[in-house]
Every structure is written in structure tokens, then in C-alpha cells.
Amino acid sequence: MSGKTAALVNHQLGSFNDFIPHDKNDMSWMQRVVDGITVGAVEQQAGQIRLELGDQEIIIKLGKISLGTPRVHEANGSASDSTPMMARLRRLTYAAPIYLEFETYEDGILIDEKEACEIGTLPVMVKSIACNLHRHNLTGEGTGDEEYANALCENKEDPQDPGGYFIINGTERVLVCLEDLAPNRVMVEYEERYQRRTELAKVFSQREGFRALTVVERKKDGILNVSIPVASGQVPLVVLMMALGIDSADEIMQNITGKEIMRNLILANIEEAHNAEGIFTTEEARELLERRFAAGQSKEYRENRVNYILDNILLPHLSTNPEARKKKAVFLGRMAREVLELHLGERVPDDKDHYANKRLKLAGNLMEELFRSGLQALLNDLKYQLERSYLKRREGKVHSSIRRDVLTNRIMHAMATGNWTGGRAGISQLLDRTCNMSTLSHLRRVISPLTRSQPHFEARDLHSTQFGRLCPNETPEGQNCGLVKNLALVVDVSENFMQIEILETLNRLGLKDIEELNEKMGKVYVNGDLIGVHSDPKELVSSIRESRRRGVLNNVVNVRHEKNMNDVMINSDPGRIRRPLLVVDRRNKLLITEKVIKRLESREIEWNDLLDEGLVEYIDAEEEEDCLIAINEEQLKGNKKTHDYTHLEIDPMVILGVATSNVPFPEHNSSPRATMGAGMSKQSLGLGQSNYRLRPDTRGHMLHYPQVPLVQTEAMKYNSLTTRPAGQNMVVAVMSYQGYNMEDAIVISRGAIDRGLGRSSFLRTYDAEERRYPGGQEDRFSIPGPEVRGARAEEAYAHLEEDGLIHPEIELGGREVLIGKTSPPRFLTEPTDFLSPQKSRESSLTVRPNEKGIVDSVMLSETENGSRIARIRIRDQRIPERGDKFASRHGQKGVLGHIVPPEGMPFTASGITPDLMINPHAIPSRMTVAHVLEMIGGKVGSMEGRTVDGSAFSGERETNIRTGLVNAGFRHNGREILYDGQTGRKLDIDIFIGVIYYQKLHHMVSGKMHARSRGPVQLLTRQPTEGRARMGGLRFGEMERDCLIGHGASMVIKDRLLDESDKTTQRVDTESGHFGYLDRRGVLVSPMEKNLAIYEVSMSYAFKLLIEELKSLGIVARLRLEDMS
């Protein structure tokens, strides 16, 4: 990883590194997929392919999986190492080959030695351990940051680029985190069904990609039933527990609960099984299940089916071993108890939005799902190919039977479109490169899979368990509000961890087997799996925490004592958002001392050392329920007698996300304004990447003179806003100016604009490829000659060189030619003469109709399949003009309303004129006090030549800033006497004036302006197209039509809705009422064969289309014509 920025996307990189096999990862998720995959029938053994050949038994065992380095294979057969910049420039996918070992056994004898075959390619995350830019691969482990940064620059990369994204077909794509309900957790809830409320307990039981929902439900007669996936209908709970091996009534009672209040309810269930079903033993219970699940089949099949369901389908996360049936019965007993407690009012339903019940699916988990479905398809295909070749030739080679594109295409298609397995869309998104902030925020985004259209008020609300885990402010406004979230600053998402280490520690701490369970003992769960019981759960939890702090147990583990059930819940699964807290001992004394802090400052020790020494620990939402956390040290000392604290916050500032933490003094703003400030910092223009001259982004913006803000926050040291800034410090006066800054508009001095304020460049890349077509035809870059169909006038190609490409530094307007190109005809006509060449058509690339600019660079390269590709970048200087959008960091947004000559601007006694004027009405109702604070803070900073700290909750105090103003010779309230620029008279009132950071946003009027007279129409309806990009018309909608009806302006309506839209003239036969047509000879004919009276009628083309569509349905709509005279 490089620098501080990379730490912000550690969760993405860490997850992908867990997924891929490499030296430091013994148990990669890819290997886990290979080991657990079954090919053919479900009951087959995992990790091997058994060929169905009748007499022969051939088994192909899958071995170790490995990943190569990212390479590019040229059309001429050569291969070389690929780099991300090469992939971007040449429209390649940055991917590495996957190798898998195969061993072939015939009748138990090894016939083919281990052979590693390439099975496909896998897109590689930039800066992950498999990437050619990883420190390990580029400069070697242990090299200095400066040496690594220089090596990155040599590879044409921005050293501050965080990585964490993929490059697919030359475009950067990010896999956004998915928020999902946690598997293997029992959730108790009410369900309304037919106006009746039922209580039920659900568990999504997950094992190696297989997910099964098991539900225990209480029916209205009090009987508890269990729904098992794949098996239709419900099974009584008592019958299922008996089938699992608990046949005595006392044992069933003990496994559910020992509480007196519930005994009668359980007894009623047991009696129902005895009386109604007539079941007393395990055998009878199994026979009932056989009748339910496999009625009418042979005895052997029925037994196998029930065994398969009990072991593999019912609660598979506990185990798929027949020995674990008792454990499953105990687990079902716990679910039943929770349902009964809910029924009796002893507990409340579980909170779905509690963050202990959520898990994040990161890039690694998402790629695992994709890889599993791709590998399954590949191995199914391999089995089919091998069976065919054995039946034909009595032999088959794995190497020649693998079709690599099966796996590769599955992965690439999902990555390129965002359509994932399980019907989810929008998982892979185009990385937002507007500015540095938008990139970082996009890489830390968390999306909820809930539908956008429904209200889901609870899911959108800020939940108390999101404190310190997700940013309370950074979320979009509108339909996605609260469903799209962003990670807070110092969080860590738990990664892969083997359970064996936990089991060893638990055995040492006195864990007993499930068989020894009695009422006084507490059950111990690891990731939802019941692994044993313990006589003193509370003591066990304390011992586990102690082991973790001593470094005996990995700090990924979190533990909680469930007091209601007297259970111990241990979690070590991936996808939990955890946040670091300082550990406090029993006497409210902080374990971290001044001495340790000094060692940290001198770089003697690092963050990980604090974790190893137990001074800091990561807490997940579940363990936080057992903690009492102090906000600051004053609370620790002040509440010594009343509160027994366990932890202390590192800094209250870290509850904010990466974008909100850039807002100075956010605690002085109203919450929605902080949300808007965070949202608009992602639309600001600045220096996005230092290698912008090389990057072939489709569209990019760059501010010409970006400045570092005068008022900074602590978080800016880590998110590279100081090295890649996106805004400028401006002198701002809060005053009205002749009504030009009404309604949030702003007034800017032309002098400031001439000095470069808010000036930016817009860069757009156009690309074209010489495509090859079937039949040996291909596109050609050249200046189209006069013989080419559709060729333009000679002047249109004046700027092109002989190779058809334009010369750099030429100024162009809309629709001007960039690349001259000819293509073969779209439709193959009948050849007139065999030897005469086919006429080609003109298909030159032109500048977009409403854009202009100067050719910045021209690049010619080759794609992977050997066809030439040209990329041309155009730059357009954007000088602030009326209608451009600007915003401060506090959600105070406005468009430029007027540009004032410098001599017309008001000025202070010392001759300073403001760069920008905002309306006083923008401040009071919006309560953006921080905007005012930043203005005086910036004023002090500019006078003292320093930056001012505006960090959340801990920035410089207002009194200090006021003192600074007084010391600099200003009034403490920031007001000054101003003089009118036009008359020179002193203004009657004092004006508040200061320095504040303003951002230019990418909503510029030159990108919005649009008008049309005539233009393209849609093929089907012949109405004007829609949208600015397609030169569309301006829609005269229903409400506009209503206005004209109200005015009685019927001819204007006809003009808008008919003459200017899709007017057409059709010939109508008055006899039949059908449309007439011209036959081959050009004679008017009616469909009814009589052409006595055919008249021309004007109508809307959409109406003519409707008549014809009705005819296709068999409805004859006849037109009746009357003589107007």
C-alpha cells in the first residue's frame, strides 16, 4: 500500500487479497470454492468430477489453484506484463490467468500426473497483492515510501491514487460494498398474514455459497412448525426434534426451556405429536418425514432423501455430518424458545436494522460468488466435453477439453455490466473521477439492496449502532436517501479468519461438549454455529477478552454475553464493521499513557503495536452492546463514582465519513447542510490525478489554479485534499448587490476572473477503432474520397493528415471531423460485378454537436486483437460565466448571477475588494454558522500566514479567532466599513467580510444550454428525439397543453402538437376507411381493390401507428371522412 490514502480503501484491498491465492494467504477463498464445488448430482463428493461412462470409473480430482501476474497477449502471439495505464490506454482488461491442478484417476489408479491448466482470467484489483504496482512486486518489501512513489511515477501512475478498483475494457470500475442481513443469526419477528399476527424465528443458514432459510413458526393453535427449504409444506417441531434423535418428552422440554410459564405450551406440542400424528419414537418420526418428503418412492430412496435433507439442507451451517443431529435439535429448541418468549411478551422482536445483524459484502465476497458460478459452469462443461471424448475415442485430455472463455466471459460480463449472480444489478459501477474526493467516497460506499421505490422508513433512518461505523451525513438526497451510505473514518471491515484458533482457546478455557448441556450451563456459539457449552459464561467472556488483549487470540474476534439466554456469542466472520476504541481498566483509568503517546509520535511503535499490547481494540456492533464508552477524558474523570466505563472514544471526529470530515466546524451547522456540503465536495473541480495528461478518461475536469484551504481539518492530512485540492480561497462579502444575488445567486468581480478565479478546463476523449467484420472487411482510418457514399465536402477534412487523424492544437467546433473513417456498407447488396470492390460508406468521428475545444493529444495504438485504435483528447477552457454553479463547503450553493467590472466592486478602507458577494438571506434560515466561522477563520489565517484548524468538535475556538482578528487590526466581529464602487460613498451599514474556501462544481451552463429548431426524429413514432445529447426537442407536455386549452389557443396547440411534431399525410379510402398505398407501378391502390375515392388526410404519425397496431390485434378501426364544404 502507498501512503495514507491507501489506508482509506484498505477494506477493499484486504478483502480481494483474502480472495486470491498468494504466498501470504494459505487458505484463499478461491481455494475454498474449488474444494467445496460439486459437479453433477448434488450428492456427489466435493472437489472432484466423476464422469458418467457406465463401465469405466474415471474421477478427475481438483487440486491447488493459483493466479499468475497480469499479462497482455498480443495479436502476434507475444505476451508481456500489463500495467494499469497500458490497460486504460489500449482498452484492455487488467487481468491475470488462473491455473488449476487436475489429477485423473481411472478405476482408482492415477493415470495423469498433476497438471496445472489455465482455466480463465480474473480481473485484478489495482494495488492489490497480485497487481504489478504492489510494493512487493514493484520495489520489493521494506522499501521506502519515496522510492515506491518514484517507481509508481515511472509506471505513469499517480502516487496518491488509492487503488481498490478494477480496469475492465479500459474503464475503471469499482465493486461497491453491499449491505446484507447476517447469515447464521436467529431473527425473531412478527408477520402479519390474513389480518392475523404470527410469531416466527428465521435463520439464513449459510455454508460455502449454499444459503438455506429455516423458519420456526407458531400457528394459531399454538403448534410450532418448521419450514425446511426444498421440502414443501411444514413439519411439526417436535416431530423434527424426534427425527434428529431426541425422543423423550423430558429431553425435548429441557432443550427448549426450563421456564415454568412455557411448560404447558411445549407439552401441548408434544401431545399433538403423540395423539394426532401417533409418533413416540425416532423411527416413527423418520417414517413420517419419509412420507412427507418422498411419498410413493422406494424405501431406500426415501431413507436417503430424509438423511440428505436432515444433514445437508436443515441448518447446514451447524454441520453436514450425521453426528451433528443432536446439535441441530438443540439449535431448533433455542429457536422455539425465542418464538414462545415473543408470544408471551418476554422479549421484543429483533431489530433488522441493528448493525450486529448486518454484514458487508466487499469486493472479495462478491468476486467469490461470481467465481463460484463461473467455475461451476466451466466444470460442468468440462465434464460434458470429457464424456464426449471418452465415448468417441476412449480417452480424453483435461488440458484440451477446457474452454477457458466459459469462466472468463461469465466474470467479464458481470464486471462490465454490473449484473451479478442472483439477479442483482448495479454492483460494479464506473469509478467517479470528477475529483479526488469523489473517488475516495465511491470506494467507501455501502449500498443497501432494498428497492428504491418503496418507503422503508426504518431502513433509511440513522440507527444508533451506526455511530462511528457509518457517516451520519454523507448520503444522497432524494430516493436513495439512507439506502446509500458511506463508511466512517477509522473503521475496519473484518476479514477472513480460521475458526480453529478460537476453538483451541475455548477448549483451554473449559468448553464442554454439547452432550453435557443442563439448565445452568450456557451455550457457546461461534459465528452462529453451536460448538459447546460452558458452566460460567460470564467468566468465559472475560477470559476471551483478556486473551485477545494479551495477543493470545486474534483481534478479529469479538465476543458478547447474551444475558437473556445466558449464551456466549463469538464472532470472527468477515464483513462486520468494527471501530477502534481505547481500552479503559476497572477504575476508569485509561491504559494508554503519555509515555506510549510519545513513543507513537517518535515512530518507535505503530498502530498495530497498540493492538498487540491491548491498549486499543476493535469492537463490532454486537460487542458494543456490552460496553460503556466515554466520549472524552472529562467524562472518565467526572463520572468515576457513577459510571463503570470500559472504553474511550479515540476522537469524536471519527464518526464522520471521508467527505463530511472536510467540512470545517460541522458541529455549528444544521445537519442537512453538512449533508449537502459532503455531497457537493464530490462534484467540485480540482486536480483529480497528477497523471491527467496521460489518462484517457471519457470526460474530465481540471481547475487551473487549485488552492489548499486556509481553514483545514484534521482529516485532510489523510485524504490528500491538501495535495490534490479542489477549490480556491476567496474574499467574500455578505451583502446584496442591486438584486443580482437574489435567491442564492452570487456576484463575482471580473477582475478576479481575469486573474484566474474559477477557471477550469474540460477534457473529453473520443476514440475510434478499425473494426473487423465477417467476410474479411474492415474499417479504415483515411480521408474519405469522393467515391465514398455519404462523403462530406473537402473542407470538412481540411484539418486531417494523410492517415485520417487530426493534427494537435487545432481549434474545433461542434460536428467537425476528428478522425476520417470509412466502413463497409451496412447491408450487403447483390454484387454487380464479382471483381468490382464494394462501395464503402463514410463513418467519420466528429466532435459532439454542442461542444467545442482544442485538440490536446492524438494517440494511435493497437487493441489485444490487433486492430488499430485512435484516441483523441479535446480540451475546452471554461471561464466562469453567468449560470455556473459555485458552493462553499457548508451546502451554500448558488449560481453566478452577475459579473461586475473591478471598478464597480465595493472596497474597504485599505482598498480590498471582495472576489465574491453572497446574499445575507442565505445565512439565517439555513443556520450555517460554520460558514460565518470559516469566513473569520480564513481572515485570521490570511493575515497570520497560517492554516486554521476547523476539525469537527475540536477545532479552534471562536474566542481565539476573534482575538486573532483584533490583533490583526480588524473588529472582532469581522465587519468592516465598505465604500460603494460606483459612487465612492461610504455604505450606511457595516459589511461582514472574510476569506472562505469556495468550490466550482461541474454543473456549468455550457453543459446544460440546449435549443433546437429541426433535428433528428425517432424511427418508430417520427416524433423529435429526447435529451440534449441526441439533439432532442423540448417537450411540450400535458400541463403545457392544459394551459393553452385554458386560453382557448387551439391553433397554437395544433402547431405544437401536430405541425411541429409528427405531422404526416396519409391517403385514405372513403369507401373502406382503410389507408391506401402506392403499388409497384406508382398507382394509388386501396386494400379493398377499389380505388374510386382516395383522399389525402393530414394526421399525427402516432395516430397512424395506433390504427396499424390495432389492425395487428384484429381490430379494424375505419376512418370516416366527411366533406368540409
660-673+690-759+881-1000: which CATH topology? 2.40.270
Give the β-pairing of 616-620 and 577-583: antiparallel
- pLDDT per position as a tens digit, 80-109: 999 999 999 999 999 999 999 999 888 878
Predicted pLDDT at 408: 95
With beta carbons less than 8 A apart as the criterion, state whether 421 and 671 touch: no
On the question of pLDDT at 249 being above 90, the answer is: no
Phi-psi region of 809 (alpha: psi -120 to 50; beta: other; left: phi over 0): left
Specify which residues 569 forms β-bridges with.
525, 560
Better-predicted residue by pLDDT, 834 or 717: 717
Q: Which superfamily, per CATH, for 769-861?
A: RNA polymerase II, Rpb2 subunit, wall domain (2.40.50.150)
Is residue 49 classed exposed, middle or buried when 0-12, 13-18 and 19+ CB atoms within 10 A define those classes?
Answer: buried
Q: Which residue has the cell 466444470?
A: 379
Quote the distance between the C-alpha of residue 1024 and its chain's center: 35
Stretch (H or E) spanning 534: strand 529-534
Report the amino acid identity of residue 299: K
Which range, of 393-407, 689-703, 980-994, averages the lowest pLDDT?
Answer: 393-407
Contacts of 906 (CB under 8 A, 6+ apart): 733, 735, 913, 914, 978, 979, 980, 981, 987, 991
Question: Which CATH number fits the domain 492-655, given the four candidates 3.30.1540.20, 3.90.1070.20, 3.20.20.120, 3.40.50.300?
Answer: 3.90.1070.20
Q: Which residue has the cell 466550482?
A: 1000
On the question of pLDDT at 896 being above 80, the answer is: yes
- Please tell me the distance from the alpha carbon of residue 235 to that of residue 244, in angstroms, as a whole number: 13
On the question of pLDDT at 662 being above 80, the answer is: yes
Predicted pLDDT at 711: 96
Which range, of 101-115, 535-549, 754-768, averages the lowest pLDDT?
Answer: 101-115
Task: Determine how many CB atoms are found less than 10 A away from the CB of residue 591.
Answer: 16
Angle at the Cα of 406 from the Cα atoms of 405 and 408, rounded to 5 degrees: 55
Which CATH class for the 186-359 domain? alpha beta
Predicted pLDDT at 832: 53
- Please tell me the distance from the alpha carbon of residue 148 to that of residue 168, in angstroms, as a whole number: 25
Average pLDDT over residues 141-147: 85
pLDDT, the chain, mean: 90
The catalytic residue among 247, 536, 744, 1055 is: 744
Average pLDDT over residues 694-700: 92
Residue ranges of domains in the chain: 3-174+361-486, 186-359, 492-655, 660-673+690-759+881-1000, 769-861
- Please tell me the distance from the alpha carbon of residue 662 to that of residue 950, in angstroms, as a whole number: 9
- Please tell me the distance from the alpha carbon of residue 992 to that of residue 908, in angstroms, as a whole number: 11
On the question of pLDDT at 1106 being above 90, the answer is: yes
Q: Is 529 labeled as catalytic in the residue annotation?
A: no
- pLDDT per position as a tens digit, 307-335: 888 888 888 888 888 888 888 998 998 89
264-292 exposure pattern, b = at least 16 Cβ within 10 A, e = fewer: ebbeebbebbeeeeebeebebbbbbbbeb
On the question of pLDDT at 558 being above 60, the answer is: yes
With beta carbons less than 8 A apart as the criterion, state whether 131 and 87 touch: no
Better-predicted residue by pLDDT, 210 or 95: 95
Contacts of 250 (CB under 8 A, 6+ apart): none
Predicted pLDDT at 472: 96
Question: Which CATH number fits the domain 3-174+361-486, given the four candidates 3.30.365.10, 2.30.30.40, 3.20.20.30, 3.90.1100.10?
Answer: 3.90.1100.10
Stretch (H or E) spanning 168: strand 166-168
- Please tell me the distance from the alpha carbon of residue 244 to that of residue 242, in angstroms, as a whole number: 5
Confidence of residue 211 (pLDDT cuts 50, 70, 90): confident
On the question of pLDDT at 13 being above 80, the answer is: yes
On the question of pLDDT at 4 being above 50, the answer is: yes
- pLDDT per position as a tens digit, 161-191: 999 999 999 999 999 999 999 999 999 999 8
Predicted pLDDT at 829: 60
109-117 own/partner pairs: CB under 8 Å, 24+ apart: 112/397, 112/398, 114/63, 115/398, 115/399, 116/64, 116/66, 117/398, 117/399, 117/402
Predicted pLDDT at 2: 44
On the question of pLDDT at 1041 being above 70, the answer is: yes
Average pLDDT over residues 450-458: 76
Predicted pLDDT at 302: 86
Residues in the chain: 1125
Predicted pLDDT at 1: 40
Predicted pLDDT at 834: 55
Average pLDDT over residues 579-606: 91
Q: What are phi and psi of 343, to 5 degrees?
A: -65, -40
- pLDDT per position as a tens digit, 518-542: 778 889 999 988 898 999 999 999 9
